[in-house]
Chains A and B, each alone.
Chain A
Amino acid sequence: MELNCKHVWAHISEYLDQSVAPELREEIERHLEHCEICSAILDSTRNILVLTADDRTFELPVGYSKRLHERLARELESEEGAPRKS
């Protein structure tokens, strides 16, 4: 079966996650070899994911970690909330 572009688009996400079946993967790759549009879509989506996973894209509020541990320290000092085995 020869895949058309729309078929490929439907599987881009799974393809990037490497969770498509081997036969389908081969077919997609054969299609990508000659289809610049799908290659570009794949590359741009992959680039977006690379950028998304970069910690600089979403920065934590300044002082977040410090405040978090201070809050936790207060909790640890108060005995009532101590975890118990259940």
Chain B
Amino acid sequence: MGANTLTMERNEAELITRILAGQKELFHDLIQPYERMVYMTAFAIVKNEADAEDCAQGAVVNAYRNLGKFRGHAKFSTWLVTIAVNEARQKLRKTRRASEESLDEVVEGEEKPVSPAPLTDWREIPLEALERKELREALRSAITELPDIYRQIFTLRDIEELNVAETAAALGINENMVKVRLHRARMMLQRSLAPYLKTTAPARKGFWGRMPWN
């Protein structure tokens, strides 16, 4: 993994140099691995498909126009995500019009711990449950319903798998806040999904072996 990442970064640096030297078509290749990330980042902020797609396009175009300002000390992916965050926040400001409303809203009770839902019959949570469409849908809506600041962090960390430092940089907050909010987001999701994880269909034989993570 480490070696792969390194190779990828090296190739990206080379791609960027070539793009800046005039081989602009290569920008298609440069962004290709991050299409999903750009969309999901925007979606976490604007919360609707059409706007998220608009923002993703805007972010990619902006990244192209500003590529000369990209410095190798950040990862290209982090830089691109930051652009997507800004694009989405701008869109949100326009649609909300209530410009006074802070995007970094204070959520009440942020200092209070969120307790997870106790599941006593944990041995009955088979991985099979994760395959159920119903659970996927429940997870999607639970994530969508998280308060904005939690959903954004959860998306970058657990959907897009950025690390704590990258998430902090993209959202312009400190790392400790990322950790605290991520913990809360995860506990909120555990609470809202507990009922789905509890009642599961009877296990089918041979199913476990087919799970991709086995």
Q: Do A and B bind each other?
A: yes
List A residues at the B interface (Cβ < 8 Å): 6, 9-10, 12-14, 16-17, 19, 36-37, 39-41, 43-45, 47-53, 55-58, 60-61, 64-65, 67-69, 71-73, 75-76, 81-86
Q: How far is the CA of A73 from the CA of B140 in the complex (A)?
A: 32
Find out whether the CB atom of B194 lies under 8 angstroms from the CB atom of A44: yes
Which listed segment binds A: B74-82, B88-96, B99-107, B179-187?
Answer: B179-187
Cβ–Cβ < 8 Å partners of B189 in chain A: 45, 48
Cβ–Cβ < 8 Å partners of A47 in chain B: 125, 127, 129-130, 197
Cβ–Cβ < 8 Å partners of A57 in chain B: 136, 139-140, 159
Give chain B nearest CB distance to A63 CB in angstroms: 9
Given contacts A47-B129, A51-B130, 18 further A-B contacts (CB under 8 A): A12-B183, A12-B186, A14-B179, A14-B183, A19-B164, A41-B190, A44-B125, A48-B186, A50-B130, A52-B159, A53-B159, A55-B36, A61-B53, A68-B57, A72-B28, A76-B64, A82-B24, A85-B20
Q: Which chain B residue lies CB-closest to A40?
A: B122
Question: A13 and B36 in contact (CB under 8 A), knowing A51-B135, A82-B24?
Answer: no
Cβ–Cβ < 8 Å partners of B61 in chain A: 71-72, 75, 81
Q: How far is the CA of A29 from the CA of B63 in the complex (A)?
A: 45
Q: What are 28 sample pairs from A and B whose C-beta atoms fall under 8 A apart?
A: A9-B187, A10-B183, A12-B116, A13-B187, A19-B179, A36-B120, A37-B122, A40-B125, A44-B122, A47-B125, A47-B130, A48-B189, A49-B158, A51-B135, A52-B154, A52-B159, A53-B159, A57-B139, A57-B140, A58-B159, A64-B39, A65-B35, A68-B35, A69-B28, A81-B64, A82-B24, A83-B24, A83-B68
Contact flags (1/0) for B59-73 with A, using CB distance below 8 Å? 011001111110000
Q: How far is the CA of A49 from the CA of B161 in the complex (A)?
A: 10
Q: How far is the CA of A50 from the CA of B67 in the complex (A)?
A: 34
Find out whether the CB atom of B68 lies under 8 angstroms from the CB atom of A84: yes
Give chain A nearest CB distance to B138 CB in angstroms: 10
- Could you tell me which residues of chain B, from 95 to 146, have a CB within 8 Å of some CB in chain A? 113, 115-122, 125, 127, 129-130, 135-136, 139-140, 143
Question: A41 and B119 in contact (CB under 8 A), knowing A48-B139, A82-B24, A83-B19?
Answer: yes
Question: A41 and B64 in contact (CB under 8 A), knowing A51-B136, A52-B158, A65-B35?
Answer: no
Find out whether the CB atom of A37 lies under 8 angstroms from the CB atom of B120: yes
